[in-house]
Structure 1
């Protein structure tokens, strides 16, 4: 499975560790930045290439890290086709994929430790969308919201 990953300065170190762990676990990983620590970078700039890659299918799933995970989640969800969520526990990491077809996991680099981060990543990547009628009906409604003009 091809995975995309991105982080701003507040998640830079965690991203570096996750890239290593993902590759060791056998995943193909594309790093969308940041490529060096820069305390002045902005999460919307960092998340955009990853979100576009997820939406286009260039990568199967994405992982984004910022300080709290909130900023990258908000920014990523502005891209049509991205279903991103800030996740802090394993149930939602897999359930978000199984029921809601979540395709971008957002993590808070300053609020959860490396062991929990890896557990969340594993749960997210191993989960598969169930596609039952009720889940697909809801997903179709979400997709319709993306097509509406404000």
Structure 2
């Protein structure tokens, strides 16, 4: 699986650690975040990762900023993106199973690297369950068409 990772200046170290962890598990990682500690704006990186998913260049995305909140809000402005911000594995797992999320976000100022690994593993290992959940995803797509 090919995964894009985007981040702002707050999350450079965590992005690098998560990327290395995923590479060691056999995932192909595309770094589209900043590698600088110089202040930058998270919507830039959210849009880049989201557009890579929409274009089919990557299958999923991971976004990291201070809290994960702002970067996930920005990503969710792109039609077809279902980004979730998680600080624990259970919500990450259920977001994949029930909401077919295609972007996972978290905060470098909120969680440590070991928790980040657990969250990422839970999210990537979970499978979308379809059925009643597909009906709800289709309803979300209809809302997007009105935008």
What is the Cα deviation at residue 12 of structure 1?
1.1
Runs of 4+ in 1 over 2 A off after TM superposition: none
Aligned to 1:12: 12
How far did residue 54 of structure 1 move? 1.5
Question: Any idea what the Cα deviations from partners look like across 1:47-105, whole Å, max 9, x if unmatched?
Answer: 11101011222111110000000011100000011100111111111110111101100
Count the aligned residue pairs: 147
Which runs of 5 or more residues in structure 1 are unaligned?
none
Report what 1:59 is aligned to. 58
| Residues 96, 126 of structure 2: 8 Å contact kept | yes
TM superposition score normalised by structure 1: 0.94
SS for the counterpart of 1:5 is strand
Aligned CA-pair RMSD:
0.9
Q: Tell me whether 54-63 or 118-127 shows the greater mean CA deviation.
A: 54-63
How far residue 128 of structure 1 moved from its aligned partner, in angstroms, is: 1.0
Structure-2 separation of matches of 1:89 and 1:25 = 20
8 Å Cα contact 2:93-2:123 kept in structure 1: yes
1:22-101 aligned at under 5 Å gives the runs 22-34=22-34, 36-101=35-100
Contact 2:10 2:37 (8 Å CA) reproduced: no
Scaled by the length of structure 2, what TM-score is found? 0.96
